[in-house]
Amino acid sequence: MPQFKFADYVRKRAEALDMSMSELARQSGISRQALYGVLDGSTGQAKISTLISLARALQVHPVVLFRHMLHQFELPKFSTTGAKYQFDASGFVTETMPDNTTVLIGQSFCKTWEIQNIGHRVWQNRQLVCVDEPIESIAITQGIALPMACRQLIPDQKCIDIPETLPGDTVLLSVQFTAPNYPCSVISYWKMTDETGDICFPETEGLSCLVRVVSL
């Protein structure tokens, strides 16, 4: 891929974020001259650290920028270790409500993850599925109330559809939760499945929502 294609991608991504080139340079921690040198190829091959900083400012996975920068070379395809499909890979970008966000007992809230298709396969007919293990009640001495059946985050839906996502594209995935009605720290795990219900990346932890539940 010619160098200007890389520059075109960077400019379009910055435009989508309503970010000027000056602001992109500032958020990346590089000078405007250095940024334009990377975009027009006058500085030769950009440093990895520069691409990582650019990716962070553009809110994309660094692998996407690496691929755009190095596409003119013959590079071997890759796959995530343990992925069901060859050349399939997913990268975490960002999230709302980061780990240990505080919520109130019984509060309803929305968690959103942004992930990126950093592989070479189109994601079609896929879902994000809750993989939390059910908690079983135990026998309690007569006269003492049984523990609440649900001591977990309660999602409105156990699975949500993932829109068709092309390689290099990002997608936002949102789940509405209700917190338990007692103070605790609690986590919910989610994984991507294909149209047959098989987990696409069985050896990775997947996405999660970890919150601290408090009472007033």
Task: Report d(CA 39, CA 10) in Å as an integer.
Answer: 8
- Asked whether residue 176 carries a pLDDT value surpassing 90, the answer given is yes
Ranges 19-33, 44-58, 142-156, most confident = 19-33
- Asked whether residue 162 carries a pLDDT value surpassing 50, the answer given is yes
Pairing mode, strands 170-178 and 108-117: antiparallel
- Overall pTM > 0.75: no
- The reported pLDDT for the residue numbered 209 is 96
Q: What is the DSSP string of 39-72?
A: HHTTT-SPPHHHHHHHHHHHTS-HHHHHHHHHTT
The answer to whether 54 and 6 are in contact (CB under 8 A) is no
Sorted by where each starts, the structural domains of the chain and their CATH numbers stand as: 3-70 (1.10.260.40), 90-214 (2.60.40.10)
pLDDT digits (tens, 9 = 90+) for 4-13: 577 888 888 8
pLDDT digits (tens, 9 = 90+) for 113-126: 999 998 889 999 99
